């Protein structure tokens, strides 16, 4: 692009954008992107004569104004909003220049603007997010599912919904008051109002939207808690489009599973998954959940509770675990470009219990617990415990030897092997953290054979007590003892680390296959504190996603647990994508609550009328 194209559309656009307050570099960058459609900093610099090092400053300026979306890839890609949207944005600033800018930019648009933008895009500011929602409304062909806080349902958006309804698009809304519902019903008689299961005013959610099952948008209110939703700077959103788009794939990951049921069944697998999502979402049992589901969706929409349970029983246990593995692969593939997953991660392995009440005869998958009088189903998981995205990467049933069955003695190292092997197919693993339940030479050797490091607290036996007594005698707080593992699967050198307990009383002993000196032992062992995340994950899985059932059938219990873990992963990954859009600190605390995400998943599963 010439630096002085007198009278050309480029020159006109740059001049008008400068009049609207953009810097020269920002104006040239926007015009370049308008002609490119999408591009990297290198692309922009090549056609605009903006120095590459200044393109990023220009992009920040444009992004702040809601004129450019950013794809979090490597290298980053940039996408300029359409001429129509840019015009409406500037109408809020100066109406007199809008038509001139509309003409100039429309001449610069690609001949055929791509109908589908790859990747997950971010947009900042309430005005810019509203414009993107309007674009989605205008493109809808079959169905709009839209959940929002009332302050964000503006007259312009209601007008967009009316226009969509007039085209025959099905409209489903939630999150607004009865008064607003009446107003919408007057304007759109065919619109469906459904009750949200969460009080939106108590959350940071802004909007949740699905259009035609192919376009998704999730937003959060990101200012201080006293900020108004209508504050132009208060909202950040991520959006995706297309069957293979990251965000769409994330929300539809449960379609990976197939039950193997007959092709002529009354209800497709999707209806059963939809019902299972609903049961976990409302926190009830299958009979009550099926009845409430029919009330919300229609008498003939979904299966009866007994039919649902019969279908669930048709999932083979190993096929179910394989299905979870395939779905997790789809989820992780959406963020493998992120730096967190390009480097080896720290993972935690633990076993959680689901209480069982009833006769244990003939129940080989029921195990005892630490409380000798209680019984439970047990499941082992491997979870990422980095600060930014606590995903569950692998799930395995735990089968133990109990007085009421003929199971062989517990082989927990085999469970560990399967978990790590599965997880390493998704991401590289550097360190595995386990609790004392995994204090076993076979577990140590299994992890060593899998080429991962480990940090596991040891049970205190007479050998450890002798070392601790010697430490007390010589007034030592830290000690490192060299050791080795020799089992049938191999051998390797290891160390026992004696460090002060985090409770402030006594000494804790850790086993590791890394070489750690006495001066660094205490700091190194603090890495174990990351393992607490897995306990929070179990609480969230059981509290927000697990159906409340009492079935004695292990197939049903396994299905419900694995399905709940998958829903948890969908929540955490969607939250990660939203945080990446906000471009803030990737800490453990979610921006999007579990309930909000499950509601979005449910909306994604509602097929067009």
Assign residue 102 the CATH number of its domain.
1.10.10.10
Q: What is the pLDDT of residue 585?
A: 47
Q: What is the pLDDT of residue 74?
A: 77
Q: What is the pLDDT of residue 260?
A: 47
543 inside domain = no
Q: In the numeric block, which tokens belong to residue 503?
A: 């409770």
pTM of the model: 0.64
Q: In the numeric block, which tokens belong to residue 508?
A: 């804790």
Give the C-alpha separation, 609 to 606, whole Å: 9
332 inside domain = no
User: Are both 166 and 217 inside the same structural domain?
Assistant: yes
List pLDDT tens digits, range 521-536: 999 999 998 888 888 8
For the cut 70, the answer to whether the pLDDT of residue 597 exceeds it is: no
User: Are both 76 and 94 inside the same structural domain?
Assistant: yes
330 inside domain = no
User: Are both 110 and 121 inside the same structural domain?
Assistant: no
Q: What is the pLDDT of residue 432?
A: 95
Mean predicted confidence (pLDDT) in 272-295? 69
Q: What is the pLDDT of residue 592?
A: 58
The count of domains in the chain is 3
Q: What is the pLDDT of residue 141?
A: 92
Q: What is the pLDDT of residue 295?
A: 66
Of residues 473, 495, 499, the one with CA closest to residue 484: 495
User: Are both 193 and 311 inside the same structural domain?
Assistant: yes
Give the C-alpha separation, 330 to 326, whole Å: 6
List pLDDT tens digits, range 47-69: 888 888 889 899 988 888 888 88
Q: In the numeric block, which tokens belong to residue 512?
A: 């590791």
- Local confidence band at 268 (pLDDT 50, 70, 90 cut-offs): low
Give the C-alpha separation, 188 to 159, whole Å: 10
CB atoms closer than 10 angstroms to residue 132: 21
User: Are both 368 and 245 inside the same structural domain?
Assistant: no
Of residues 308, 163, 180, 329, the one with CA closest to residue 256: 329
User: Are both 155 and 205 inside the same structural domain?
Assistant: yes
List pLDDT tens digits, range 63-110: 888 888 888 777 888 888 888 888 777 776 665 555 566 667 666 655
State which of 56, 81, 114 marks the end of a domain: 114
For the cut 60, the answer to whether the pLDDT of residue 604 exceeds it is: no
Contacts of 131 (CB under 8 A, 6+ apart): 66, 81, 85, 88, 89
Question: Nearest 10 degrees: CA dihedral of 525, 527, 528, 531?
Answer: 180
540 inside domain = no
Q: How far is residue 566 from each of residues 323, 559, 562, measured CA to CA in Å?
A: 10, 11, 6
Give the C-alpha separation, 29 to 89, whole Å: 17
32 inside domain = yes
User: Are both 469 and 579 inside the same structural domain?
Assistant: no
Q: What is the pLDDT of residue 280?
A: 67
User: Are both 352 and 368 inside the same structural domain?
Assistant: yes
For the cut 70, the answer to whether the pLDDT of residue 439 exceeds it is: yes
Helices (H), 76-177: 83-91, 98-108, 126-139, 155-166
User: Are both 376 and 494 inside the same structural domain?
Assistant: yes
User: Are both 607 and 554 inside the same structural domain?
Assistant: yes
User: Are both 357 and 498 inside the same structural domain?
Assistant: yes
User: Are both 192 and 217 inside the same structural domain?
Assistant: yes
Domain of 466: which CATH number?
3.90.350.10
Domain of 185: which CATH number?
3.30.870.10
The least confident of 147-161, 421-435, 478-492 is 147-161
List pLDDT tens digits, range 296-309: 666 776 677 777 77
338 inside domain = no
List pLDDT tens digits, range 213-265: 778 888 877 654 444 545 554 777 878 776 555 555 555 444 334 444 444 45
Element (H, E) at 211: strand 205-211
State which of 71, 88, 114 marks the end of a domain: 114
93 inside domain = yes
Mean predicted confidence (pLDDT) in 349-370? 84
The residue that leads in pLDDT, 600 or 264, is 600
Element (H, E) at 70: strand 68-71
The residue that leads in pLDDT, 227 or 559, is 559
Strand partners, 367: 376
State which of 76, 95, 114 marks the end of a domain: 114
108 inside domain = yes
Domain of residue 109, residue span: 1-114
List pLDDT tens digits, range 533-549: 888 888 888 887 888 87
């Amino acid at each position: 692009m010439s630096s002085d194209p007198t009278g050309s559309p480029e020159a006109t656009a740059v001049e008008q954008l400068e009049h609207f307050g953009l810097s020269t570099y920002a104006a040239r960058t926007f015009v370049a992107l308008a002609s490119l459609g999408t591009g990297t900093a290198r692309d922009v610099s090549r056609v605009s004569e903006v120095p590459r090092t200044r393109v990023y400053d220009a992009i920040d300026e444009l992004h702040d104004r809601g004129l450019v979306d950013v794809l979090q890839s490597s290298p980053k890609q940039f996408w300029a909003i359409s001429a129509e949207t840019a015009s409406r944005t500037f109408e809020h600033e100066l109406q007199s220049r809008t038509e001139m800018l509309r003409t100039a930019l429309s001449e610069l648009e690609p001949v055929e603007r791509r109908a589908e933008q790859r990747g997950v895009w971010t947009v900042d500011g309430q005005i810019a997010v509203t414009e993107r929602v309007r674009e989605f409304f205008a493109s809808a062909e079959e169905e709009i599912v839209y959940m929002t806080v009332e302050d964000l349902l503006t007259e312009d958006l209601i007008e967009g919904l009316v226009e969509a309804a007039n085209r025959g698009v099905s409209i489903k809304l939630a999150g607004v008051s009865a008064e607003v519902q009446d107003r919408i019903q007057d304007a759109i008689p065919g619109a469906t109002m459904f009750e949200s299961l969460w009080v939106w005013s108590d959350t940071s959610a802004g909007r949740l939207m699905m259009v035609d099952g192919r376009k998704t948008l999730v937003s959060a209110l990101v200012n201080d808690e006293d900020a108004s939703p209508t504050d132009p700077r208060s909202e950040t959103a991520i959006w995706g489009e297309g069957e293979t788009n990251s965000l769409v794939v994330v929300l539809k990951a449960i379609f990976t599973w197939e039950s193997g049921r007959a092709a002529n069944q009354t209800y497709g697998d999707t209806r059963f998954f939809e019902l299972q999502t609903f049961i976990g979402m409302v926190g009830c049992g299958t009979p009550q959940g099926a009845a409430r589901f029919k009330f919300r969706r229609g008498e003939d929409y979904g299966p009866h509770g007994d039919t649902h349970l019969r279908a669930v029983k048709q999932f083979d246990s190993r096929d179910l675990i394989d299905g979870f593995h395939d779905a997790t692969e789809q989820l992780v593939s959406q963020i493998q470009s992120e730096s967190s997953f390009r480097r080896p991660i720290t993972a935690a392995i633990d076993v959680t219990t689901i209480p069982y009440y009833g006769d244990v005869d003939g129940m080989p998958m029921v195990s005892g617990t630490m409380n000798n009088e209680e019984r439970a189903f047990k499941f082992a998981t491997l979870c990422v415990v980095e600060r930014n995205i606590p995903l569950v990467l692998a799930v395995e049933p735990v089968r133990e030897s109990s007085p009421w069955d003929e199971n062989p003695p517990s082989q927990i190292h085999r469970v560990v092997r399967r978990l790590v092997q599965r997880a390493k197919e998704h991401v590289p693993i550097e360190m595995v953290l386990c609790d004392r339940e995994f204090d076993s030479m076979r577990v140590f050797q299994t992890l060593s054979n899998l080429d991962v490091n480990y940090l596991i607290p040891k049970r205190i036996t007479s050998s450890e007590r002798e070392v601790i007594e010697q430490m007390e005698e010589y007034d030592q707080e830290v000690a490192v003892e060299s050791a080795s593992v020799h089992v049938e699967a191999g051998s390797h050198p290891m160390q026992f680390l004696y460090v002060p307990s985090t409770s402030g009383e006594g000494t804790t002993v850790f086993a590791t296959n890394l070489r750690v000196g006495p001066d660094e032992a205490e700091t190194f062992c603090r890495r174990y504190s990351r393992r607490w995340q897995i306990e929070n994950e179990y609480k969230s899985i059981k509290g927000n996603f697990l159906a409340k059932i009492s079935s004695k059938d292990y197939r049903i219990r396994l299905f419900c647990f694995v399905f709940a873990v998958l829903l948890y992963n969908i929540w955490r990954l969607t939250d990660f994508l939203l945080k990446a859009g906000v471009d803030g600190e990737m800490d453990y605390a979610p921006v999007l609550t579990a309930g909000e995400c499950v509601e979005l998943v449910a909306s994604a599963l509602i097929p067009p009328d």
